[in-house]
Amino acid sequence: MPPSRSPAAPRPPDPLVSGRRRDPGPGDPGKRDPGRGDPGLRDPGARVAVVLVNWNGAGDTLATLASLDRSQGSQGAQGARAWRVVVIDNGSTDDSVERLRRERPGLELIETGANLGFAGGNRVGIERVLADPEVGWVLLLNTDVEVDPGFLPPLVAACADPAVGAAGPKIFYFDPPDRVWAAGGRLRIRETVTVELGRGEPDGPRYDRAADVTYLTTCCLLIPRDALERVGVLDPVFFINVDDADWCRRALDAGYRLRYVPASRIWHKVAAATGGAYTPAKTFHTARGNAIYVRRHGGIVGLAGFLAANLVALPAAWLRELPRRNLRAVHQKARGLLRGLRDPLPPPPSPLGGEGPAPGPLGRHGTAPAGGRG
């Protein structure tokens, strides 16, 4: 069971945590500033919709749901409505659906009928919950986590500033539970396109300071409705992995800030759905996603640097995995890289609320009225 610790109060941003921004922030010349100056844009009492994507992992999903049951928000808190939990079964081939229905008879469970990938499964859930005008916040959550009972209110509080497009917690390893898995993150273009800050480090004061970052993982990500409608959904072209990096890049380009909130805490079992950290399936999809991301966001210089970094990294990975008899994972990484360079590059998902230089007429909870979906 993860240890119980009193969350530290947010402090000024720590440069070790915050990372560097590539683009100007909201309010800088040339950047649209979504909603700044109108504190009534977001309703902290609006319903939170929690979207979880299950694939052959009913045991982990049930444990995560039990964790949510013990949390503030399950029955409503501080005047907020009780949250709505939606599980997307992403074409499971085991007894996941039967078990989830049997052990959680009141669960809102949507079956996709096929494995749409993490991004595609989340898209189904996001579009379902945004059809409910009571929903003002969408929480994307992995099915292999345990949440602290008070994890939600700090995330909502961080998003009270309408210039914040999303907020994420301090994430620990499930075992050992005092080691940081991610204290926010940073976008970059090297062999990979993201870095989780604090990975593997003992928890400490430098990770207790709230900060703006350039990357937040969808392991646990709270997105205000207006930001999600303006930026759009996760892009299914990525299938699994890198979809969160792409969404964060699009949110930054739209002028939003991303906020790391250490007062919110969860524990992550890490790669439970994909069977491990360096498997053939994961290396293929991650390498393919990295290549697509760089083609979309990196420009010619970024693409050249990405290719050069991988020309160095692939032989190093081959030498590392040879004694582990895991060369297939390296081969699949190379194959995924080539696929990502060759596959068609579609445009990113369109804003759900329509495109415009400034927020339009406000619907319920201060969100732009939904329009065509991309």
pLDDT in tens, 253-275: 999 999 999 999 999 998 544 44
Q: Is the pLDDT of residue 12 over 50?
A: no
Task: Report whether 266 contacts 168 (CB < 8 A).
Answer: no
pTM: 0.83
* CA separation for the pair 195, 214 (Å, rounded): 10
Give 372's contacts (C-beta < 8 A, 6+ positions apart). 350, 354
Token output for 73:
């928000």
The structural domains of the chain, ordered by start, are 18-24+39-270 (3.90.550.60), 280-342 (no CATH)
Burial string for 79-88 (b: 16+ CB within 10 Å, else e) reads ebbebbbbbb
Strand partners, 258: 166, 213
Provide mean pLDDT across the span 226-255.
96
Question: What pLDDT is stored for residue 20 in this prediction?
Answer: 32
- Residue-wise pLDDT for 34-92, tens only, equals 433 343 479 999 999 999 999 999 999 999 999 999 997 665 544 456 899 999 999 99
Q: Is the pLDDT of residue 173 over 50?
A: yes
* CA separation for the pair 24, 257 (Å, rounded): 10
